[in-house]
Structure 1
């Protein structure tokens, strides 16, 4: 690419940014003029925006954009003089002009077609013949109306734009640079001060990856700054120990000074003086270290806060396009709607802001099509013909709340019930008994719609489903509120940022893990004696509801047994969020609670792929790494272990009782038989582990201590006879009793099993509960 092409590309980039900024002003102004066509400040702002775009397009060399902006400017000037009225028809055409200007600045798109420009100019002229001929409006030569480069000479302005474009080219962080004004020897100091303040507030362009790395480094610096405190505390302890030594010498001198010779007393005095001098130095150095520690920690915290703030953007950056979208769609539906945006300055994480576009678009279209009535219906209901649609963003209780509300008819609950039944989602009796919140939840299901036919706007059942998916992806919640005749409100409760997460830190096998608080229902300590066995699985009772208990060590692949204590630390989690009390609830037994912390989320290296049950990582204040648990993955792992009958239990009762509890290994390839045996034995109080074949059983046996092995004969990889033979030939395992449970009940088969070394042979043909339990009792006695 030649230097001329690079220069032109840089100029086009600047024009595109100028167009994006000025067309925002134009869009907002046109929508305001629709309700107040003669508002002078709005007309002035629109006219100045088009005048600026005309000058910028002329400098960059976009004659088509010059003609579009010039025609728009003439229309606004005519409206200022009272020659035309900016009515709905003209606004429709002017909005097309905005689209053309944005298209002209898109360097990746083909040049703006002359036919489109001529058609636009003709349509605008037809909408208002009083538009001017294109001459400069009165007053343009006035210095008060010269903020843009068109008023400079072409050579000076082009040179200024080129210099600015080079400053904003790849490799630079500058995103937008104000075009230079011509030199003015009469420029006042106040104007210079204003420009300096403007320079400080200019926008910079930084790559997202660079910003993420900056935030990561700021987080590491914060962690490193906090490592100084333990060092300072150690120094303080050394200082106290040195003071104790000095005090001990003083005490020794008082008691034994008379028995010491002059030389010994002099040496002792010298030692005491040296120690006193050392103590003063330690005091001074400790004070210096304390100041350095506090200042370093404060600076690191400020650095981290500022780096984190760089990720935040005002909600208005995403909301500026919605008024135009609402207007166009409302007109296509024959409705009159005014969009009110509240909380435009609310700070939102840039990642969440980028993800909000699609779900908010769905919610706004849903409100326009389903919620808002047409003008005649509203008039009949005693409402203003113009409906109000409100989009609100605010911070509340450490969360970001996004609300979309309309003042329409509200959700027709009777029609909703009919749609639920018609689509076979629930039985009529059940639907009739459902509460209003339960009914409204159906609106969020995939493919659900109350439309009988598909239109360009709705009827496919994907809109609110997309909103639900977005909310789940960012660990948020969605709530629907509806009042008959008064409107509907969708409330999204989202985390303030995806880069920072409030978490419960726990310890499992000496390692730190973080449970996102959005998924933590409760953290509690449960007496071991309160753990119950229900259908072969351990449970605790919470709010009168049995909750399955699972060990974090098993889920996270940690070895060993936790230290015994009277209580078990349990984290109650659910895959659902917030007030979703119907979601599956599980108790995860951990070794220790380590408190709540706000963590800077660090994604795992992509080369690791998806790590089971782990979502990300974070650094704790002491520099240790904490793995952030993927709760939905964890719940899926629990469900899998339940299906396979491989859940490990938490030791109940005292430590002595836990050690005395008999352990049995069941080796069986049939899931049904394996589950039956496991449940029978656990109900009798035995601790049961399972294996799916002989090889799995042999590996499990070697890695644990068992009082009995129960095995099938016919299994893949290694059959039961081979397993028994290996047990009897192993010096460490040969003393473990083995019971064979098999369908083969011929005498030859029985003899073959017993000859291999089995202690008991039970056939499944005559199998029943008490036969198995009696045989186990004969071999190893009661469970405890």
Structure 2
């Protein structure tokens, strides 16, 4: 690609960014003009936005975009002078102009066709009559599905795309009457650039790494406290020694000579001086510890805030969607967004678009009546549709509510029976909340006829799937004749997880509290056998019991008894309601609840069975976050194959000599994952953080196998393998390389250095590693 082509692509990227912010202002302004067509402030802001786009398109060299923006600017100028009125028809046409301007800035799309631009200009000059829509290639107002698709495509959604950090224009915010009308000048721009509240666009991966480093900094800062406590014990011991010398001098001083007494006095004085110095240093260390911990906590909290974005980043697209679809359905709707400044996790926000689109479409098509029907019912012809976002009780609540007809409960009962989902007599006894749950089932619809907007039964099912994916719930509320309300209850962030920490074979594992129904202590005599499987009884129902050791691959699949002889059991479920399936997971013990900063496993490791992610505990210990859905699938597989291990009545205390493995890896996540996998299989594992640390550890111990990475600081894996093979005491120790380098040249380089096995992390999974270890040194004992 030539320098000119690169320069033009860069200019197009800049135009696209400006078009995103300016067309957002235009979209908000046009929807405001639909209610107040002559509002001078809004007209001024829209005119200036199109004027800016016209100038930008001219600089970039997009003549078609220049013509589109110029025609839109002329329309706003004429409206300012009272020559014309921005009515619904012209708003339809101007919204099409927004689509064309966004398409012009898309470098991957073909350039705007001249006939499309001419058709748009003619349509706008003709008052935006729908007859011109075909000439422009735009959807007819009578095609609601196409209108909805066009609306979704035309309003740019903020994405965490990999772009360099840059200041987002003030026009990125929804239009504000007085501020948006002010002319842009260099001094205003300079002041805005200095504004501490300005928005920056940063790579998503950078934020994730920042959050991970902040979490590690917080953990490292807490390591100082045990060190300070150790120093305090030394200080106390020094005080005890000084007191003992004083007692010795008091009881035996007369028996000592003059020189001995003088020497003893000097020693006591020196110890006293050292004690004072030690006290001062301890006070300094205590201040450093408290200050460092506070700063690390603030750093972590600030890094976590970087993942949060205002709800308005997604909500700004919905007014146009609602407006277009309502017009296509012949309905009048006032759309209200409440809580635009509510902070939402970036990952949740990016996933909200589809479920909220389904809920809004459902409300417009199913819930809200047409103006004639509303008039007969004594309601205002203009319906109200509300989208609300707020924080409540540590959760994010997002609600979509309408003042329409509500759910027709008799019709819902008939639909449930007609589709064979429940017998008629059972349906008649169900409560209203139980009946409303059927609306969330896949393929369920109360429409007898499929339309462009609804009837396929996929919308609410998608909402339910989204809620499950983010560990949330969906609640439906309905009142006949007064409307329907859908409430999404979601976690505040996917970066932080409230979890129950459990002990399994000496390792810490985390279960998300959203999946934990109860944590119980069950007497061993209360465990019964039912159809060949162990069960416990909870609230009158039998619940199958399986050991976490077996599910998580510990070397001993049976759970030992604690001091009281009881078994610690987690009840986990895969659904909601009283009839949801429950499973009992026997663990070795409970370690309390923690709020964990979730750290995803490296994607190149692939899917690790029964594990979803990792996190660091306060003491620096790595804990694996259990994938509950995987666990439930594993239970079903073990039941199907008849391989469930039961809970024994005593602990296995037989001590066996285990083979020792040294893991040398600079990545904390990979190092801990390998350690846990190997220890579960029964191997004794020692870890080292780089090649030099690994070499020193190897020389000071006896190991049956060394597993090493290649790229490490101080000494890489190839150098480590070479030193092992050149050392007469270590040359016979088997060495396995586990590396991301998967080229044949890399593999050959490692094997030529003397490695016995080369495993790539790209194909790495638990069984591959364990099989390779077994090939080299056999079983753990």
- Where on the TM-score scale, by shorter chain, does this alignment land: which range? 0.7 to 0.9
Q: 1:618–1:626: 8 Å Cα contact kept in structure 2?
A: yes
**Counterparts of 1:178 and 1:589, CA distance in 2:** 56
**Counterparts of 1:369 and 1:172, CA distance in 2:** 42
Corresponding position of 1:622: 619
Moved more, 445-454 or 541-550: 541-550
> Aligned in 2, Cα 1:189/1:329: closer, same or farther, shift over 3 Å?
closer
Give the TM-score taking structure 2 as reference length. Answer: 0.74
Q: Is 2:678 aligned against 1:647? A: no
Corresponding position of 1:263: 259
Q: Any idea what SS the aligned residue of 1:64 has? A: helix
Q: Any idea what SS the aligned residue of 1:127 has? A: coil
Q: 1:84–1:128: 8 Å Cα contact kept in structure 2?
A: no
Cα deviation for residue 536 of structure 1 reads 4.2
Corresponding position of 1:484: 480
**Counterparts of 1:553 and 1:403, CA distance in 2:** 41
Q: Is 2:270 aligned against 1:278? A: no
Moved more, 233-242 or 524-533: 524-533
Cα deviation for residue 607 of structure 1 reads 3.9
**Counterparts of 1:101 and 1:189, CA distance in 2:** 25
Corresponding position of 2:740: none
**Counterparts of 1:29 and 1:121, CA distance in 2:** 20
> Aligned in 2, Cα 1:124/1:616: closer, same or farther, shift over 3 Å?
same
> Aligned in 2, Cα 1:376/1:543: closer, same or farther, shift over 3 Å?
same
> Aligned in 2, Cα 1:191/1:391: closer, same or farther, shift over 3 Å?
closer
Moved more, 32-41 or 374-383: 32-41
Corresponding position of 1:85: 85
Query: Aligned-pair RMSD on alpha carbons?
Result: 2.5
Q: Any idea what SS the aligned residue of 1:390 has? A: strand
Cα deviation for residue 507 of structure 1 reads 0.8
**Counterparts of 1:260 and 1:5, CA distance in 2:** 96
Q: Is 2:573 aligned against 1:586? A: no
Moved more, 424-433 or 522-531: 522-531
Q: Is 2:165 aligned against 1:173? A: yes
Give the TM-score taking structure 1 as reference length. Answer: 0.74
**Counterparts of 1:612 and 1:279, CA distance in 2:** 55
How many correspondences in the alignment? 607
Moved more, 605-614 or 110-119: 605-614
Can you list the C-alpha shifts for 1:416-445, whole angstroms capped at 9, x where unaligned? 111111111121112112111111111111
Q: Is 2:363 aligned against 1:371? A: no
Corresponding position of 2:396: 400
**Counterparts of 2:170 and 2:409, CA distance in 1:** 55
Cα deviation for residue 176 of structure 1 reads 4.4
Q: Is 2:304 aligned against 1:308? A: yes
Q: 1:616–1:628: 8 Å Cα contact kept in structure 2?
A: yes
Q: 2:597–2:615: 8 Å Cα contact kept in structure 1?
A: yes
Q: 2:407–2:478: 8 Å Cα contact kept in structure 1?
A: yes
Corresponding position of 2:406: 410
Q: Any idea what SS the aligned residue of 2:537 has? A: strand
Q: Is 2:601 aligned against 1:604? A: yes
Cα deviation for residue 128 of structure 1 reads 7.9
Given candidates 533, 537, 541, the residue that maps to 1:541 is 537
Q: 2:218–2:296: 8 Å Cα contact kept in structure 1?
A: yes
Structure 2 matches for 1:248-647, cutoff 5 A? 248-560=244-556, 561-566=559-564, 567-576=566-575, 580-647=577-644
Q: 1:330–1:337: 8 Å Cα contact kept in structure 2?
A: yes
**Counterparts of 1:618 and 1:263, CA distance in 2:** 62
Corresponding position of 2:770: none
Corresponding position of 1:119: 119
Structure 1: 5+ residue stretches without partners: 130-168, 180-186, 660-784
Corresponding position of 2:697: none
Cα deviation for residue 248 of structure 1 reads 1.5
Cα deviation for residue 193 of structure 1 reads 7.0
Question: Which of these two proteins has the greater Rg computed from alpha carbons?
Answer: 1
> Aligned in 2, Cα 1:312/1:99: closer, same or farther, shift over 3 Å?
same
Corresponding position of 2:215: 219
Cα deviation for residue 371 of structure 1 reads 0.9
Moved more, 525-534 or 324-333: 525-534
Cα deviation for residue 533 of structure 1 reads 4.0
**Counterparts of 2:368 and 2:316, CA distance in 1:** 21
Structure 2 matches for 1:716-735, cutoff 5 A? none
**Counterparts of 1:286 and 1:319, CA distance in 2:** 54
Cα deviation for residue 586 of structure 1 reads 2.0
Q: 1:481–1:489: 8 Å Cα contact kept in structure 2?
A: yes
**Counterparts of 1:39 and 1:313, CA distance in 2:** 31
Can you list the C-alpha shifts for 1:481-511, whole angstroms capped at 9, x where unaligned? 1111111111111112222211111111100
Can you list the C-alpha shifts for 1:601-633, whole angstroms capped at 9, x where unaligned? 122233433222211111111111111111112
Q: 1:509–1:562: 8 Å Cα contact kept in structure 2?
A: no
